[in-house]
Structure 1
Amino acid sequence: MQLYNNILYVGFDDTDSSSGMCTTYVCAVVLEKLKSCGMTLKGEPRLIRLNPFAPYKTRGNGAVSFRLVLDNNQTIRRAKQIILDTVEELSQLNDPRTNPGVVFYQGPMTRDLKEYSMKTVQCMVTLEEAETLAQKIGAEIVKYKNGRGVIGALAAIGCPLPDNTYELIAYREVNNYGKVRRINEDSVRLMDHETYPETFDNLDEGYMAITPHTPCPVLYGIRGETKEALYRAQELIRSEEPIERVMVFLTNQHTDMHLQAIDRIAGIEKYQCYVVKGVVNSNPHVIEGGHVIFNLKDESGEMECAAYEPTKRFRDSVRELAPGDEVTIYGGIGNKGTLN
């Protein structure tokens, strides 16, 4: 493999499942192994959140990528073997919905690759599209099972980041997987008070929001505008259980990259995210489960919109809408065809 500027791009996705593992953790383990062999990482690893309404996503729908500085074919072969062995070892291959894919690429960031990546963040992309592009640009793909993870792996390599944030993720020791996470909540509130708005999404109506609710390796994740803010926040958090490792990712989270502006309701399609303007055409009403529903219309058509229960107090603002109100809606379309 002839390297372009001595850089090997690596991307992978779909290693986790609803019952465990995390693709970012696989990335962190891979990078530790590569660095221990004397290999050099260029820049931060990237965590690219893909289309949040894709029906085949596992949990967070995030793919990872990173750049290695390598100077000879022997090192390239060794790096690839370490990566593939680790992905195979840690992926949840017994889960029918887990279909990892790994991509190795050594060329320039082409226009086709960037456009494909943006499409993967905003729309639906098929595995055939990913494989066709990989062949065109000379990227090497490795598939496990049906290999659907290749879609996100390739997108994570090529995704442009004109705007970005960072996420610091702390991981648990293996013997604590599946147990209650032991984080001092008062320290999280203090951290939020001291670092907001440089960090964000730390609390949800006063309760700790940095810990996941699945048996995955993640202990907590802090999101912020700069790496420096994340490190300051980390110093303020008191963990009452050991931390195995920490990794900071460059990411597209909270950049609204997944949203695409559209000027006609009739043009909206399932499994995509939009910014659309319209007029409220019904009184908001509450349905079973605490969800608030109303209709939105423009000259091209009408559709149902929802503020679901997990949005909590946001629903109070939605309830105040009245027929005739002109609004701009930011949301996505799921399987039921409701904009939320």
Structure 2
Amino acid sequence: MVLWIGVDDTDSLQGMCTTFLATEIVRDLTEDFDLIGYPRLVRLNPNIPWKTRGNGAVCMRFGEGVGRPFVVGSIAGRPIQAYSRGRTISEQAAVADRIAPLVERWSRFDDSTTNPGFAVLRGQPTPTLYWRAVRGVVSKRSAKASARGLGVVRSYKNGRGLIGALAAIAWRPRDRTYEILTYRALEAWSTERRIAPESVIRMDHDFPSTFNNYDYANDRAVIAPRSPCPILFGIRGDDPAVLPAAMSIIDGERPERWLIFETNQGTDDHVMSRASPRPHLTVRLEGDVSSLPRVLAGGHVVVRVGPIDITAYEPSKQFRSVVRNLLPGDRVIAMGAVRASPATLNLEKLCVVSAVSVVRKVSNPLCPACGKRTKSLGRSAGFRCPRCRTLVPRDAARWEAVERPLAPGWYEPPVGSRRHLSMPIKRMLRSSHTALPVHVGLAAQAREALLRDLRGTSPMPLGTGLLNSEARDPETGL
């Protein structure tokens, strides 16, 4: 059995990143122990009010490696290797004593919202802890109870980071992706990043197993964070073997270190398929549109579906046009986070299951008695001949179907507006998560224009949903 190490809540909105601390722990512990498997970056419930940025915790395993090692990173020019399997090591307390100074050195204790915690365990807590942490709200007491008797837990300030640290260890992947994270030299932190956008487009084209690299609808690379954190850029994908080559294509500032993480990003693990919509949850709802869309101040678009408003907020950009084109009677599946005030579903994806037909009148009918063109008696009231006063039913008029700008299928926001956990269209199609069409919208058209000069191609838009007012999530009981 290997040692499991989890760490969370060391960063702040002003800087640092818990994954950088993971590289420091890896650098220190691989002097004496072997890294087992890829380090893990585990995103938790994105709706938690007290989260810092991406609500991500890290997990690493150490032991005595068995088999052939493989490279998972490089730190200050030293290759970092891992083993797929490992034998146990017994230095649990000693390992905790080595991690503590690193946590204390790099954590942003000056920020009131930073409350670090870490754990060094002989085994994993129950998987229920992970599912509750990624979908709901977990107390520190219940998180600690799940790890009772498994090893060392330590926390700082209010210790809330211990919840994420233990939940990251508890993750047993059903689905997984990978991210190669690159880091800046210390002297470059808080300075402007230099990344050539055309190299990101080229990489996106050359490595189709990667995703969420470039926002073609808004013409910007999204692999680099905008915060003053240590990360230079990150590339996400389904195949970890190609990520170092993808990294090498990116032109600009050179990273001081890099590490490949196994992650739950892009898996939709946070989505509850059979739960009533309650604050802090991300749910799937299926129902009929019951109102015309309305545009609020700030550009947000709201429409009623079943018992709740669904909202495409301004940051979702072109995605709002999808919601604007909905009509009463359309059947949709909506996926998003439930907000308490105002009570609404913050849309992450949308599927148009079926769209109502729209017709328009081309001409009034002719009078069957005298052949004169009839006149309307008002909406839904039929027609009357102005000459002989003959009445003619409404459906006798000549009508034609109006093409809707919204076809059935999946839609999603542009790349730059997606959540870490939200499964992108590329993964839905690849993993057969949908049999419904996926539409080439504004984002894909913009992408094609950008790629013409580079002779390339790449991603596009999507959605997901369900409603049951009394049901509970089988993983969490929420």
Q: Structure 1-normalised TM-score?
A: 0.91
> 1:30: which partner in 2?
25
Per-residue deviation, 1:124 = 0.9
Residues 24-67 of structure 1: CA deviation (Å, up to 9, x unaligned)? 010011101111x2210100011111001011110000000011
Matching residue of 1:203:
214
Q: 2:242, 2:7 → 1: CA distance? A: 28
One-letter identity of the residue aligned with 2:55: N
For 1:46-65, list aligned pairs within 5 A: 46-65=40-59
Give the alignment partner of residue 304 of structure 1, picking from 303, 309, 322: 309
- How many residue pairs align between the two structures? 320
Counterpart of 1:312 in 2: which secondary structure? Answer: helix
CA distance in 2, matches of 1:292, 1:40: 52
- Deviations 1:72-114, CA, capped at 9 Å, x for gaps: 54x434322221110110000110000001011103x46xx10
Counterpart in the other structure of 2:133 = 120
Residue 161 of structure 1 corresponds to: 173
2:160 matched residue in structure 1:
148
Q: Which residue of 1 aligns with 2:344?
A: 338
TM-score by length of 2: 0.65
**Residue number among 246, 258, 273 corresponding to 1:233 in the alignment:** 246
Residue number in structure 1 paired with 2:34: 40
Please tell me the residue identity of whatever aligns with 1:305. Answer: I
User: For each residue in 1:277-306, what CA deviation from the matched residue of structure 2 results, as whole angstroms up to 9, or x when unmatched?
Assistant: 111121112212221111111xxxx11211
Aligned to 2:4: 9
Residue 437 of structure 2 corresponds to which residue in structure 1? none
Structure 1 unaligned runs (5+)?
none
Q: Distance in 1 between matches of 2:229 and 2:340?
A: 26
In 1, distance between residues paired with 2:243 and 2:187?
26
CA contact (8 A) 2:271 2:282 kept: yes
| Preserved contact between residue 42 and residue 68 of structure 1 (Cα < 8 Å) | yes
Matches of 2:42 and 2:181, distance apart in 1: 14
Q: 1:276 corresponds to which residue?
A: 285
Decide which of 86, 89, 97 is 2:113's aligned counterpart. Answer: 97
Identity of aligned residues (%): 40
Residues 182, 255 of structure 2: 8 Å contact kept: yes
Check whether the contact 1:11–1:103 (CA below 8 A) recurs between aligned residues. Answer: yes
The runs of 5 or more residues in structure 2 that have no matched partner are 65-87, 347-478
SS in structure 1 of the partner of residue 96 of structure 2 = helix
**Residues 55-64 or 315-324, more deviating:** 315-324
Higher RCO structure, 1 or 2 (CA under 8 Å, sep 6+): 1
Aligned to 2:193: 181
Name the amino acid aligned to 1:322. L
Based on CA coordinates, which of the two structures has the bigger radius of gyration?
A: 2
Of 236, 239, 254, 1:223 maps to 236
Distance 1:157 1:168 in 2: 20
Deviations 1:164-204 (A, max 9, x none): 000011001111111111011111111111113x1010011
The structural deviation recorded for 1:116 is 1.2
One-letter amino acid of the counterpart of residue 254, structure 1: G
2:147 to 134, 138, 162: 134
1:8–1:69: 8 Å Cα contact kept in structure 2?
yes
Separation in 1 of the partners of 2:193 and 2:338? 33
Q: State the Cα deviation string for residues 106-130 of structure 1 (Å, max 9, x = none).
A: 03x46xx101111100111111211
For residues 291 and 66 of structure 1, do their structure 2 counterparts lie closer, same or farther at Cα, with a shift above 3 Å needed? Answer: same
Q: Is contact 2:6-2:169 (8 Å) kept?
A: yes
- Report if aligned partners of 2:210, 2:237 keep a CA contact under 8 Å in 1: yes
SS at match of 1:18: coil
1:261 and 1:275 in contact (8 A); partners too: yes
- Is 1:261 matched with 2:273? yes
SS of 2:39 mapped into structure 1: strand
Contact 2:3–2:89 at 8 Å: present in 1 too? no
Deviation at 1:335, TM superposition (A): 4.1
**Match 1:320 to one of 325, 348, 351:** 325
Counterpart-to-counterpart distance in 1, 2:107 and 2:340: 28
Q: Indicate how the Cα distance of structure 1 residues 335 and 212 shifts in structure 2: closer, same or farther if over 3 A, else same.
A: farther
Q: Is the 8 A contact 1:169 1:247 kept in 2?
A: yes
In 2: Cα distance, 1:99 partner to 1:180 partner: 28
**Structure 1 contact 20–216 (Cα < 8 Å) conserved:** yes
Measured at CA, do residues 221 and 72 of structure 1 come closer, stay the same or move farther in structure 2, by a change above 3 Å? Answer: closer
Deviation at 1:232? 2.2
Pair 334,174 (structure 1): closer, same or farther in 2 beyond 3 Å: farther
Whether the 8 Å contact between 1:262 and 1:268 is mirrored in structure 2 is no
CA distance in 2, matches of 1:77, 1:261: 41
Distance 1:173 1:258 in 2: 34
Q: Where does structure 1 differ by over 3 angstroms across 4 or more consecutive aligned residues?
A: 70-73, 75-78
Distance in 2 of aligned mates of 1:61 and 1:32: 23
Aligned residue for 1:243, secondary structure, equals coil
1:247 to 259, 275, 278: 259
Query: How far apart, in 1, do the equivalents of 2:317 and 2:6 lie?
Result: 36
Q: Distance in 2 between matches of 1:41 and 1:66?
A: 7
Q: Is the 8 A contact 2:183 2:233 kept in 1?
A: yes
In the TM superposition, residue 262 of structure 1 has moved relative to its aligned partner by 2.5
Instruction: Say if 2:93 and 2:152, in contact at 8 Å, map to a contact too.
Output: no
The offset of 1:273, in angstroms, is: 0.7
Partner residue, 2:421: none
